[in-house]
Chain A
Amino acid sequence: MLHTQALVRASQLDVTYLGEVRALVDLAFEVPPGQFVSIVGPSGCGKSTLLRVIAGLIAPTTGTVEVAGQTPAIARRSATRLSFVFQDATLLPWRNVRDNVGLPLELAHFAQAERGVRVDEALALVGLENATRRFPSQLSGGMRMRVSLARALVTRPELLLLDEPFGALDDLTRHALNDELLRLWQAHGWTSLFVTHNIAEAVYLSQRILVLSAQPGRIVADMSVGLPSPRTADVRATAEFARITGEVAASLRRAAT
């Protein structure tokens, strides 16, 4: 049955803040394991709220969200490994790179030896092997984001939630990190929900794009991205890439009105 296969499932999901501000209205979608889904929409449409509901940080007002068949908070406390990458790097300034990356394992009471192996592995994934003793204040914005990414990957997540992680970076750094993220996803195949307001970024990374309307957020389009996989940076120059980008932009324009 398709229901049991979906890793994330939302049905009739409504979120209302303070009893009056409607953030999300009647959302329904399923995400099968291993899919890379981007969520785009005008600012303030509730994209971040949606991720926080799936992370179990916010409870739905009505309707349900399930992760691996359970409520998100229960899922992440039991078997499902869930990681979240924030808009800012969100590092502890008093810890060096290594200890920041190891934090999730430390909180989960991993043994020191196992922690060391996993931290090394995660640091290698994002190319930070040589910066392990540095502190966040000594790193550039792009490197801080890499640390944040390594911290999310250190738990070997099944579900990776990313909330506009590269929004504050310059274009070059953003492209480099997009390539990195794509490469890592293609190698590890975790399930990704990626919130962004950058259409090209969404098209480049995703297999599927959900377009949300302006507040209150509803799903106005659910498009699959038919670009070849594995992708390389060249795909940005193809006609198909331009066509899909244009299509997403058009549905975003419709969503904003």
Chain B
Amino acid sequence: MKRAIAWTWEVAGPPVVFLALVVLAWQAVTALWEIPAYLVPSPGRVLAAAREHLADLARASLMTAGGALCGFVLSLLVGTAAGLVFSQSKIIERSIYPYAIFLQTVPIVAIAPLVVMWCGNGFGGVVTVAFILSLFPIIANATAGLKRVDASLVELFEICNASRWQTLVKLRLPNSVPYLVAGARISCGLSVIGAIVGEIFAGYGAQGFGLGYLINMNTGNLDTAYAFAAVIAATLLSIAIFVAVTSLGATILGRWHIAAPRNDTTRHSSTTPIRKTAR
């Protein structure tokens, strides 16, 4: 318990202290130089705006989360399907994969208005933008995971006279799971960005409004404190989705008995004791 507290302080302490210092400096600067609130609102004003509009911010966050998650899930499905096709046919992969990179390089802000024009205002348009932005990491990782299989394992399956289907289901798909988890971690954050960009151009009309709409509208109205509050809500939403996807991914990887690529230290501490008892 004591160690847990020490650990928390060691890890969480420095960034929290830094944040507190930044907020203090921000408050001091806005007060000392008397910066107009429509340019840079003080932390106090932002907090006040957040309190005043708490219900709307929460509703908008839920709306944005819905759009982002729908785009993200769509990316997972379509991206994995694309990876499956690419892993089974070299000629299709060679022909199409280079264009999948377009998804990565296309300036989303530039095509968002087009998407809205095609997919219409409202939920569909927002989900489409979130989907386009979050698709590539899934395609790339699914394809890599399905193809980068240990060569000896492929030979083993061949020697066991495994069919193409058996090799796919019992070797390539399970092999791709850690890759998909890594891709999902990147993709889920992008889906929130996509949803917000989508909302700035599309909005949901009568269905409601999202954070992107709040940011856009309040910036236009020079209600900067409210816009700031919406930006902070968007950041918190991103973090929440990222943490959820990461911990879900860690659970899956734990079942897979493969450590997450980044957590090398936890992997050592979890395997060494087991080895010791084995001897």
Residues of A within 8 A of B (CB): 52, 55-57, 76-77, 82-84, 86-88, 90, 92-94, 103-104, 106-108, 131, 135-140, 143
Q: Which A-chain residue is minimally distant from B158 (CB atoms)?
A: A57
Is B278's beta carbon under 8 Å from chain A? yes
Is B279's beta carbon under 8 Å from chain A? yes
Whole-angstrom CA separation of A40 from B177 in the bound complex: 39
Least Cβ distance of B270 to chain A in Å?
A: 9
The interface residues of chain A lying within 8 Å CB-to-CB of B150 are 90
Which of B34-42, B50-58, B100-108, B159-167 participates in binding chain A?
Answer: B159-167
Within 8 A of A (CB), among B105-163: 150, 152-153, 155-162
Whole-angstrom CA separation of A86 from B156 in the bound complex: 9
Known contacts A88-B152, A90-B152, A136 near B159 by CB under 8 Å:
no
- Tally chain B residues at the interface, Cβ within 8 Å: 25
Interchain CB contact under 8 A, B257 and A93: yes
Nearest first, the 10 A-B pairs at minimum CB distance are A135-B257, A90-B152, A107-B160, A86-B152, A94-B256, A107-B162, A104-B160, A138-B274, A84-B159, A94-B174
Least Cβ distance of A192 to chain B in Å?
A: 15
Least Cβ distance of B168 to chain A in Å?
A: 12
25 contacts between A and B (CB under 8 A): A55-B155, A57-B155, A83-B159, A84-B155, A84-B159, A86-B155, A87-B152, A92-B170, A93-B258, A94-B174, A94-B177, A94-B256, A94-B257, A103-B170, A104-B160, A107-B160, A107-B162, A135-B257, A136-B257, A137-B257, A137-B258, A137-B271, A138-B271, A140-B278, A143-B278
Whole-angstrom CA separation of A52 from B155 in the bound complex: 9
Interchain CB contact under 8 A, B275 and A140: yes
The interface residues of chain A lying within 8 Å CB-to-CB of B157 are 107
Is B237's beta carbon under 8 Å from chain A? no
Whole-angstrom CA separation of A84 from B274 in the bound complex: 29
A108 in complex: contacting residue of B158, B161, B256, CB < 8 Å: B161
Residues of B within 8 A of A (CB): 150, 152-153, 155-162, 166, 170-171, 174, 177, 255-258, 271, 274-275, 278-279
| Residue of A52, A76, A83, A92 ringed by the most chain B CB atoms within 10 A | A92
Q: Name 17 extra pairs, CB < 8 A, besides A56-B159, A57-B159, A107-B157.
A: A55-B159, A76-B161, A83-B159, A84-B155, A84-B159, A86-B155, A88-B152, A90-B150, A92-B153, A94-B258, A107-B162, A131-B278, A135-B257, A138-B278, A140-B278, A140-B279, A143-B278
Q: Which A-chain residue is minimally distant from B161 (CB atoms)?
A: A77
| Residue of A82, A84, A88 ringed by the most chain B CB atoms within 10 A | A84
Least Cβ distance of B159 to chain A in Å?
A: 5
Whole-angstrom CA separation of A111 from B160 in the bound complex: 16
The interface residues of chain A lying within 8 Å CB-to-CB of B171 are 92
Least Cβ distance of A190 to chain B in Å?
A: 15
| Residue of B150, B152, B170, B257 ringed by the most chain A CB atoms within 10 A | B257
Whole-angstrom CA separation of A239 from B278 in the bound complex: 38
Whole-angstrom CA separation of A52 from B159 in the bound complex: 10
Whole-angstrom CA separation of A92 from B174 in the bound complex: 9
Least Cβ distance of A201 to chain B in Å?
A: 21
Interchain CB contact under 8 A, A103 and B160: yes
The interface residues of chain B lying within 8 Å CB-to-CB of A82 are 159
Least Cβ distance of B147 to chain A in Å?
A: 17
The interface residues of chain A lying within 8 Å CB-to-CB of B162 are 107
The interface residues of chain A lying within 8 Å CB-to-CB of B174 are 92, 94
The interface residues of chain B lying within 8 Å CB-to-CB of A140 are 275, 278-279
